[in-house]
Amino acid sequence: MDDDSELLERLRNGELALHELEDETSPDEAADIRRRYIEEQEDVSLAETGAEHDSEEATANIENAVGATRVPLGIAGPLRVEGEHAEGEYRVPMATTEGALVASTNRGCSTITEAGGATVRILKDAMTRAPVFRVSGVGAAAELAEWVETNFDTLKQAAESTTDHGELVRAKPYVVGDNVYIRFAYSTGDAMGMNMATVASRAACEVIEDETDAHLVALSGNVCSDKKPAAINAVEGRGRTVAADVVLPRSLVREKLKTTPEAVAEVNERKTLVGSARAGTLGANAHAANVLAAVYLATGQDPAQVVEGASAYTTASVRDGGDSLYFSTTLPALELGTVGGGTRLPTQNEALSLLGVAGGGEPAGDNARELAEVVAGAVLAGELSLHSALASQHLDEAHERLGRD
């Protein structure tokens, strides 16, 4: 009996758990044996799943590996971006299964580029983690809040001792009865920074427990707020807060988008602003999550953080006596990076290289900020195209042509 057959037999007999295979053999062999076992047990074929995966390269990104899921990758652009970190024309990689999405975003990119490009600025840059402490009551809570403000430099020193690139920029207390939530905010260089913020916050929490009567209940108290729709992220920001806008001449709106500035502005008011308010959404946009999810998958970001990123605000107005359309998108919580996590995977790293932002920037943080500005420009393009399709009554035609079998 060869080694693979022996390991497979041990799985069948319950002598070996699926997650223990990497202790017995290489990651690639472990994934192959695990896949064969599941095929046998569930009477399915995972041949395509296995063909797409290199377990050696994905060891740090997945557990109980059996393969990989193939998502089609398309390119939108070129998109001209005029930012503080991104300047020039970019081809935007988008991984999606939604027909018409890349074509729609591409139309927005083309229109924005012809108008001279999207102006983009990063307004805030800080990843958050908010542990929750238990205290004896509101008096002690107020004292702890004051202690945090008075001893910020001590907390900063402790937090930054755990990282080469992270910097603690704020520590803001929130009190609810005998609960105190401290929302630590960090500049995280080129990393998305969630792990960095968590480790650094642990060190700061140890100082708080040593120096006060507060007791740490949980390192994350949900005031962060990570991977959940949250007003605090929409208002205060999380990760990078980025704004993008463009001014389009009336002739370009008519030629490229087949509509008018007035019609786009009306769709924005009645659908995006009033409709969102009536529905109680966090953010007010047409489909920011669509572009974010596609770019996140393509470039190795954490797709769950589309939840926060999608709380975007899109505005439109007629300007210059009717001669132009002003169009903007502001993303309060754009969480992404160019190092760590899925950015190390081969296809995702290629996508980042296509944008010219793979790996760490020089100075640290420059690549991630450039990526953030490009992503904001891409969301602007997607928003512009969908608003225009609705204004011109062409949305269903595009989906009939590109999004259906």
Catalytic residues: 98, 302, 399
DSSP string, 17-49: -GGGGGGTS-HHHHHHHHHHHHHHHHT---HHH
Helices (H), 310-360: 346-355
Say if CB 242 and CB 378 are below 8 A apart: no
Calpha distance 82→243 (Å, rounded): 12
**214 torsion bin: left (phi>0), alpha (psi -120 to 50), beta (else):** beta
Sign of the Cα pseudo-torsion (203, 62, 302, 366, in order): positive
- Both tokens of residue 156? 């900063």
Candidates 354, 335, 300; CA nearest to 77 is 354
Closest CA to 403 of 72, 13, 36, 44: 72
Fill in the amino acid letter for 289: A
Determine the Cα–Cα distance for residues 214 and 334; give it in Å rounded to an integer.
32
Give the DSSP letter string of 76-113.
Answer: EEEEEEE-SS-EEEEEEEEE-S-TTHHHHHHHHHHHHH
> Can you tell me which residue has the tokens 């990526």?
371
